[in-house]
Each structure stands twice: as structure tokens, then as C-alpha cells.
Amino acid sequence: MIFLDSCEPKPKTQFCIAIEEGEAWYLGDLAAVKTAYPNAKLATLNSYANDDICGTWEKLADAVYPGGCQKLSQLPYQVIGKEKTTWAEKISPLMDIDNNQSPSFCYFRDQLRRLSEQ
């Protein structure tokens, strides 16, 4: 603490934590998911309530992965991790950050904006 008090200018810090999973942020922009995965199961996507604590990666897998969560979860954890990386690479560039419906994403986005304005 003494070290921080002697810093000029004082560092600005903001902590924001995604409580459930990053996949909730992808599901906050269903248009991005549908664009990245045109054959996604719409009924599964539409059944998701934003930031619902429901096993979010499993919900996304059920919507976009052939065989869904049941098939993916039978594979080694490295394969699951690789699939999650693929989701990030395919969905996140398509996200409309100003219209995302995930409250946790919007909070994180707004805090970053607020911090960058200081």
C-alpha cells in the first residue's frame, strides 16, 4: 500500500469478474452466434436467459456442437478446451458490444469504458 501511495500518477484499477462462464457473453449476442454457426439450434439458443447460471458452456455446446454437450463432454478435457477456444475465435469477432444482452458483459464493457475515460 505504501508503494501505491508514492506513485504519481496513481494507478487506476478496476476489477470485474465473470461469475458464471465466458460463454454467457457469447450467448448475450445471439446474432453473432448464429452468424458464426448458421446451423445452430435456434430453440436451444432462444431457451437461454441472459447470465442464467445453467451450465452455460453446455448450453452453447448443445446449440452449436454436433451431438451437443453430451457428445463433447465424453471427450478429453483438452478437446473441450480446444472447442471453447474455437467458439471464442469464431463468435467474439462478430459480437456487437454495444448491443450485447448479457448484463455481466455490459457491466464489464462499461467499466472498461469508464476507466479509459479517467
Q: Report the predicted TM-score, pTM, of the whole model to 2 decimal places.
A: 0.83
What is the C-alpha end-to-end distance of the chain, expressed in Å?
21
* C-alpha dihedral, 77 to 80 to 82 to 83, nearest 10°: 180
Higher confidence at residue 20 or residue 39? 39
- Tell me the average pLDDT of the chain: 90
pLDDT band at 116 (very low <50, low <70, confident <90, very high): confident
Average confidence (pLDDT) over 55-75: 96
Average confidence (pLDDT) over 77-94: 96
Average confidence (pLDDT) over 28-38: 98
Q: How many CA atoms lie within 13 A of 1 on its CB side?
A: 0
* pLDDT given at position 10: 76
Alpha-carbon torsion (69, 72, 74, 78), positive or negative: negative
Cell of 77: 478435457
C-beta neighbour count of 59 within 10 angstroms: 21
How far is it, in rounded angstroms, from Cα 13 to Cα 90? 30
* Residue whose C-alpha cell is 467499466: 111
